[in-house]
Amino acid sequence: MPARTPPAPQTTAATPRKSESKRRSIGLASEAAVRSWLEARGLEVLGCNVRVNYLEIDLLVRDGRTLALVEVRTRGNTSWTSAFGSVDGWKRTRLRRAGERLWRRRFKFSTEIDHVRYDVAAVRWVEGVPVVEYVKAAF
């Protein structure tokens, strides 16, 4: 009796599904749209997708002497909630933690930055064109 070879392990968890890769590309395009929108208004973007331990900040922006942490949200037309409404209490807590840690590690003794602000940007896609709505000091 010939020896049977074991089946190959399935790697579905490591391989992104089509919907996940599409969602990721829309998210990256939305972040790029917000970045361009902010730069057009004279703000300096210091970083994109900044990692602070396990937390992530979408955009890190300097507005004068203020460090703004920008959360970028996008929702489709069939979504149950708006992009702004999707920033719930848990997401605000995570952003605050990321901001506090970033402040302590990189900006606490900076003479160029006085305080931190949390902003939220919502991006709607209308016929392939991004429409940015922006809220300063959202929470």
DSSP state, 105?
A: I
- The H-or-E segment that residue 135 falls in is strand 129-135
What is the value of pTM for the model shown?
A: 0.81
* Residue 1 forms part of a structural domain: no
* Residue 92 forms part of a structural domain: yes
* Residues 22, 73: Cα–Cα separation, whole Å: 15
In terms of Cα–Cα distance, which of 70, 69, 82 is closest to 124?
Answer: 82
Instruction: Work out the end-to-end distance of the chain between its first and last CA atoms, rounded to an integer number of angstroms.
Output: 69
**Banded model confidence at residue 4, pLDDT cuts 50, 70, 90:** low
- Give the model's pLDDT for residue 52: 94
Share of the chain above pLDDT 90, in %: 70
Residue 12 has pLDDT above 50, yes or no: no
Q: pLDDT tens across 35-83, in order?
A: 999 999 999 999 999 999 999 999 999 999 999 999 999 987 777 888 9
Which amino acid belongs to residue 110? Answer: S
Residue 136 has pLDDT above 90, yes or no: yes
Structural domains in the chain (count): 1
Residues found in the chain: 139
CATH of residue 72's domain is: 3.40.1350.10
